[in-house]
Amino acid sequence: MGKELQTSIRIDSVEGTGCVVRGDDIDTDRIIPARFMKDLTFDDMGQHAFEDARKAAKGQHPLDDERFTHASILIVGQNFGCGSSREHAPQALMRFGFNAFVGGSFAEIFAGNCTSLGLPCITLGEVDLAKLMDAVELDPTQNLRIDLDARSLTSRAGEMSISIPDGVRHQLLAGDWDAMRILLDAGDDIEKTASALPY
């Protein structure tokens, strides 16, 4: 009945430098164009993150900006990741090097996919988000620290309070973000519910 499943790593904080991709409603087709989804694995997704947008920007895209080279926290606008359910989108960004996303809001399926991968999507109020974007663009070398326990984000722009849905925060803190082990734990309750269904 399968391997012993491990608890995933507890994620209580993410630290690193940031990269700012401005703009609202950035969709999953832009994050990873559909033609790269013909791979049977996610292994090569990283190199295609934002590929068409980067080509169109001729080297001026933030992902090609040397100052953001080692960034591990992606800072975005409203409704980031809208569109398709493709996990290829967070997979591409994760494999490119991002471990967390800070934005105004996230499309739900995208955020859910991120949780499954242990990538926190946290939101800031409009004023704080604008401040953070400016600060990181001005000084990309600064260290950002997302503290999920304290619900805060610290940068040179000061300490800001962050939002993250309670359930997701709990999953990350408890190391339960890879939901499968928890779901399997329900054991017979699954069959009980299934057999009570009229279909």
Partner 1 sequence: MANPAKNLFQKVWNAHRVRELASGQTQLLIGTHLIHEVTSPQAFAMLRELELSVRYPKRTFATVDHIIPTDDQSRPLQDELAEAMMSELEQNCREHDIQFFGPESGFQGIVHVIGPELGLTQPGMTIGCGDSHTSTHGAFGTIAFGIGTSQVRDLLATQCMAISPLKVRRIEVTGTLEPGVFAKDVILAIIRKLGVNGGVGYAYEYAGPVLDAMSMEERMTICNMSIEGGARCGYVNPDSTTVEYLRGRRYTPDDGDFEGKAAAWLALASDPGAVYDDVVEIDGSEIEPCITWGINPGHNIGVSESIPTPNEASDDERAGVEEALEYMDFVAGASIAGTPIDVAFIGSCTNGRISDLREAARIAATGHVKEGVRTLVVPGSADVQRQAESEGLHEIFRKAGFDWREPGCSMCLAMNPDKLRGREVCASSSNRNFKGRQGSPSGRTLLMSPAMVAAAAIAGEVVDVRRIS
Q: Which residues bind partner 1 (CB under 8 A)?
A: 1-3, 5, 23-25, 27, 29-30, 33-35, 37-42, 52-53, 55-56, 78-79, 82-88, 90, 105, 107-109, 112-113, 116-117, 165-168, 170-171, 174, 176, 178-180, 182-184, 186, 189-190, 192-194, 196-199
Q: How far is the CB of 10 from partner 1 (least distance, A)?
A: 13
Q: How far is the CB of 156 from partner 1 (least distance, A)?
A: 25
Residue with tokens 């988000």: 129
Of 102 and 144, which has the nearer Cβ to partner 1? 102
Residue with tokens 């926190």: 120
Could you give the CA distance from residue 97 to residue 82 in angstroms, rounded to a whole number? 21
Per DSSP, helices labelled H in the chain are: 28-31, 51-56, 88-96, 108-116, 126-138, 166-174, 180-185, 188-196
Phi, psi of 14 (to 5 degrees): -130, 135
Q: How far is the CB of 56 from partner 1 (least distance, A)?
A: 7
Q: How far is the CB of 184 from partner 1 (least distance, A)?
A: 6
Number of other CB atoms surrounding residue 150 within 10 Å: 14
Of 68 and 110, which has the nearer Cβ to partner 1? 110
At 144, the amino acid letter reads: L
Q: How far is the CB of 113 from partner 1 (least distance, A)?
A: 4
Of 12 and 139, which has the nearer Cβ to partner 1? 12
Of 17 and 28, which has the nearer Cβ to partner 1? 28
Give yes or no for a contact between 73 and 17, defined as CB atoms under 8 angstroms apart.
yes
